[in-house]
Amino acid sequence: MSGVSRAAPVLEIRGLTVRYGARLATWSLDLALGAGEVLGLVGESGAGKSTVGRAVVRLLPEPGRIESGAIRLGDRDVLTLSETEMRRLRGAEIALIPQDPLSALNPTFRIGVQATDALRIQRGLSRGAATAEMVRLLGHLGLPEPTDVLRRYPHELSGGMRQRVLIAMAFSCGPTVVIADEPTTALDVTTQAQILRLLSELQAETHVATLFVTHDLGVVAHLAHRVGVMYAGCLAELAPTRDLFRAPAHPYTQGLLNQVLRADTRAEGSAGLDGLMPVLRAAPTGCPFRDRCAKRMAICDDAMPEGQEIAAGHVVACHLYGAP
């Protein structure tokens, strides 16, 4: 299914298939991110959304491997670059904000050593200049006494402070694309709201293209320009945010929204999410969602649905919208 935007994309993913051992994490995925756009990527745990973000920066955990596809950043396919070339690219042009700030920071080094690394390598700043720039960035992100923060070890900071450090690191070299991989998952509700507001303000200031991976539909409703809904490694639906929430087309998207909007998820109209997501080991021969879908048809067993554009920019992979 195609999720390519009409404008010239800064990031374009074509036919991405990622495998963890025998399991397919994504299958033949197409997606694109426009300049200055926030694209939310949502779905249940195991849908493959974090895998997409990690594949873009080529930081898949073992035993993950990219089996096929292309990931173009501008005019370069990052899958053809050497690891040395990728190290130059990370931080400078594309940056990752991971979901667990404690594990993302090395516990044996002070924050200052880690936070200024990209500034020194990618921008060629001296240690003093890099430290001064990071102090400025951390202060801009609302951290009190940023000079003192740089002297501390990760375990000496709160979760919110660590996440602000990672955000500062991601934005420090002015990247073209930022991958935010569930950046508020490990935080309490109050801190989550602060971090989300901070990310929204930074995106508005810098106009950086952002792929925002989350399981929280409420987050994308406020942050994203478009939303892609993933299921079992495939893109089920892609639409402008307002259109997706006003008129969700795929039965899976409808089920996700019903879970959020209804206190009783088994009430009338909210069916469709009983059961478990399948584990794909080979290319799907039918719709991956069919066993959980109340609108299942015979064709769903035999053919993988192609993406159909049902409105401007609103694409859905479901046989309900196929040609008669």
Q: Compute CA distances 166 → 37, 95, 109, 159, 180, whole Å.
A: 21, 10, 14, 11, 10
Asked if residues 69 and 16 have their Cβ atoms less than 8 Å apart, the reply is yes
| Cβ-based neighbour number of residue 313 at 10 Å | 13
Q: Where are the domains of the chain?
A: 9-93+177-186+207-321
Asked if residues 90 and 57 have their Cβ atoms less than 8 Å apart, the reply is yes
Task: Give dist(CA 135, CA 147) in Å, integer.
Answer: 6
Asked if residues 106 and 115 have their Cβ atoms less than 8 Å apart, the reply is no
Q: Which of 121, 176, 113 is nearest to 150 (CA)?
A: 113
Instruction: List, in sequence order, every residue forming a beta bridge with 314; answer none if it has no partner.
Output: 311
- Predicted structure pTM score: 0.92
Q: Which fold has domain 9-93+177-186+207-321?
A: Rossmann fold (3.40.50)
What is residue 187's predicted lDDT score, i.e. its pLDDT?
A: 86
Measured in Å, how far apart are the chain's first and last C-alpha atoms?
Answer: 19
Q: Which of 319, 282, 315 is nearest to 299 (CA)?
A: 319
Instruction: List, in sequence order, every residue forming a beta bridge with 64; answer none if it has no partner.
Output: 20
Per residue of the chain (324 residues), what is the pLDDT tens digit? 444 444 579 999 999 999 999 999 999 999 999 999 999 999 999 999 999 999 999 999 999 999 999 999 999 999 999 999 999 999 899 999 998 888 899 999 999 999 999 999 999 999 999 999 999 999 999 999 999 999 999 999 999 999 999 999 999 999 999 999 999 887 889 999 999 999 999 999 999 999 999 989 989 999 999 999 999 999 999 999 999 999 999 999 999 998 876 644 444 443 447 888 999 999 999 999 999 999 999 999 999 999 999 999 999 999 999 754
| Cβ-based neighbour number of residue 54 at 10 Å | 20
